[in-house]
Structure 1
Amino acid sequence: MSENPPPQQKPPPYAAPAPAYTRVTDEQREIWETKGRRGVGFGAAWLIGGLLLSLITYSNAASHGGVYIVAWGPVLYGIYRIVTGARLIQRARS
């Protein structure tokens, strides 16, 4: 009797090679850089606006009495936009 060779087995999906690396174009890096700079700019505007609103209403309430606003929403949003914009700029330059 002759022995049959074992059937060919497919490798499991997790053992398949990773897809080919796609190169990021210079145009895409420019777009990321522009979006990052814009994000940092808008984030700074939100941050400064929130701080100004808080400081102006606090100084008014301190001198004349009354209620003041702590605009933590715009401040946090500004920080978020600054951080995400900076990460996008970093990604564009790497």
Structure 2
Amino acid sequence: MYKSPGGDWLRVNGGRTNDDGRVTNDLVPETSTFGQGTYRMVFHTKEYFDATGVAEYFYPEVTIAFIVKDPTQHFHVPLLINPFGYSTYRGS
């Protein structure tokens, strides 16, 4: 995950999904300040499709940018993907 404090993107943290498709570590470490701002997550979907034997796909990477206005709230950002499309939303 990255944060843009005013132009450049700074890496906050990273993670890998498990067999259930979830990142098990906190993307914002306790030592980091999760404040207001614009964030983005980059999903390396090529590696996923290659590892699962999908021969043909359209999106080798998916980037989701989002705005945090209230950092005390919980943020869950699901990515639903298939070889030729994807969907995302703010979960609960």
Hey, which of these two has a bigger chunk of strand by percent? Answer: 2
Q: Which has the higher contact order (CA 8 A, sep 6+)?
A: 1
User: Normalised by the shorter chain, which TM-score bucket?
Assistant: under 0.3
TM-score norm. by structure 1 comes to 0.20
Indicate the structure (1 or 2) with the bigger Cα radius of gyration.
1
